[in-house]
Structure 1
């Protein structure tokens, strides 16, 4: 109880200061958290490709069967991973909504970067059996049906067995709405394919070796230097993806900073008399600075704890999907940095304001 009374005594004249700092820290956590979430999501998505990946496209004169024949020839090398980004699934079906699809083939097992919630990813035996199999993002579960212990996704009248679900519990990712299917389905059904959006990758073969394999199949196949989905600057894209939130958050932070400076002005007016008495008793500017710094640290700690509690409350509610990420060292680092910057200006403003007032006026509380 004595600790609470002492804490109340220290903060009873500074409630608006604490509230202002808490608001600033809360929005710093929200903004940095969303940027970090977007950045991690982009990196995780791009990590599906190795640094050896190349994009390929085919001439317009080549017909559908010609494309399939050339892809089949490329797949004869067991070290190759072939991907095709497409919209194979029937969007008029009652089961499939808006999603992004990717066909995949590989000749030997590799470590997928997708985070599995349940089930498994493809293995090389799945491609040899030519079964209709899919791995889906967690948002696609609502379009599936269950029969016994198995789950199925319908594409028109065709059933695809769901062997795995990818995503993260409580956190959104860029592949939550994804359908990854066995590329053999396209060959078995002579499905129409586009002339681009193909990629060839490998964990063991270099980019030049992959290029040689492709060119050996057909010299006219176009090689692209970049892969669909790869971004030259993931951090910049993460910031761009969070632009509206950043602009709104910064606006609120500026309002909170303005409120903070007004609160500091009022707070200093309230403690003028105390400062005057301390100076009459021999306190130097250094002593006064230490007192103000100590109190600011107390206010900052209270504000920091308050902002964390508010965030966790919002995280539980998860209003608008803005709080579906966990606080990490980056949020804490930016929060501490913000407190240091605010503290620096707080002390400078306080000392500047106090130094201009005579002791006699301070004792009269003016």
Structure 2
């Protein structure tokens, strides 16, 4: 009976070790996912504007659309802010590569939508659709009907859920009150809005970000916070690992007294630890995959994840072997 209880306690402690180490590994992998996708997350929380976005007003009462689109630099996007009631209504114009948001249904804009005077819209998942015409979903703005070609959104609440994007065209370009240009570099945007024939006098202003992500993103705070949290989890994992190693003391002592070599003992300890570590890594990878599938705001890089998993596995293995070797030498 006593032997049975001892075995049960060891198994329960093994389970505890799996959970603690798995939590640390999951935190490491999730931090890696965040860092690889931070630009996408920032764009979602900043209404699709990236770090190179320039916010400006122009002295021109109406922009010339026939000049505007050909003048737009490659791989750039321009937004025009329209006034709406409860929704964020914007005109959009892009050329070349553009990081499109997650589509729930339909499609996003294509460059052909800007080269013809079509009237199409992409809306957030929380925007109501009161109009239908010939079995097409429609939305009205300024007395003009736009065909809804796509719905965007994620499994987590974001600012784009109540966003209405209209293809910028001759019908709505004069309604813009504020504009945003984002290119591959800030200088590219500055060169574009410096076109006085198109924009006249331009006034730049700073967009106020009030979302939590922006507040946390000041300076090096995200790195500091992540480092502190990971350090705490690592210390907890190490503490539990040391307790698990203490459970192995009697086994190590018996093998040492029976003439086992140090290398053989270290191999046996690692063989006992490796399955537990493997389960922890599998659980961590599984939770990361589930989180990526649910949020759909982050994507997992197979190469980075595989490299991180190998590094974590080797690191924990070296810690166990080092502790065991130190205990053997001290005997």
TM-score range, shorter chain: 0.5 to 0.7
Partners of 1:23 and 1:307 within 8 A in 2: yes
Match of 1:191 in 2: 175
Larger radius of gyration: 1
Distance 1:23 1:105 in 2: 42
Partners of 1:275 and 1:288 within 8 A in 2: yes
Q: 1:85 to 1:77 in 2, by over 3 A?
A: closer
* Count of residue pairs the alignment pairs up: 306
Partners of 1:89 and 1:155 within 8 A in 2: no
1:114 is aligned to 2:107: no
The aligned runs of 1:47-62 (5 Å cut-off) are 62=59
The aligned runs of 1:1-366 (5 Å cut-off) are 14-40=14-40, 62=59, 64-65=60-61, 68-69=62-63, 71-72=64-65, 74-75=67-68, 77=70, 84-91=78-85, 96-97=86-87, 99=88, 101-104=90-93, 113-114=99-100, 116=103, 117-119=105-107, 121-124=109-112, 128-129=116-117, 131-136=118-123, 138-140=124-126, 142-147=127-132, 149-155=135-141, 158-166=144-152, 170=155, 178-183=163-168, 184-187=170-173, 190-191=174-175, 193-194=177-178, 197=179, 199=181, 214=195, 217=197, 240=217, 253-311=230-288, 325=298, 327-329=300-302, 330-357=304-331
Specify the SS of the correspondent of 1:35. Answer: helix
Partners of 1:104 and 1:180 within 8 A in 2: no
Distance 2:310 2:42 in 1: 26
Distance 2:115 2:66 in 1: 15
Q: Which runs of 5+ in 2 are unaligned?
A: 1-7, 208-213
Q: 1:307 to 1:126 in 2, by over 3 A?
A: closer
Pairwise CA RMSD: 4.9
The Cα shift of 1:73 comes to: 5.9
Q: 1:15 to 1:127 in 2, by over 3 A?
A: closer
The Cα shift of 1:88 comes to: 0.6
Q: Which runs of 5+ in 1 are unaligned?
A: 1-7, 230-236, 358-366
User: Structure 1 residues 33-42 or 341-350, which shifts more?
Assistant: 33-42
Distance 2:182 2:274 in 1: 56
The Cα shift of 1:348 comes to: 1.7
Partners of 2:139 and 2:145 within 8 A in 1: yes
Distance 2:146 2:259 in 1: 83
Distance 1:314 1:111 in 2: 27
Partners of 1:56 and 1:222 within 8 A in 2: no
The Cα shift of 1:218 comes to: 6.3
Q: 1:295 to 1:55 in 2, by over 3 A?
A: same
Specify the SS of the correspondent of 1:14. Answer: helix
The Cα shift of 1:278 comes to: 1.8
Match of 2:211 in 1: none
Partners of 1:41 and 1:174 within 8 A in 2: no
- TM-score for the superposition, normalised by structure 2: 0.67
Specify the SS of the correspondent of 2:325. Answer: helix
Distance 1:211 1:37 in 2: 28
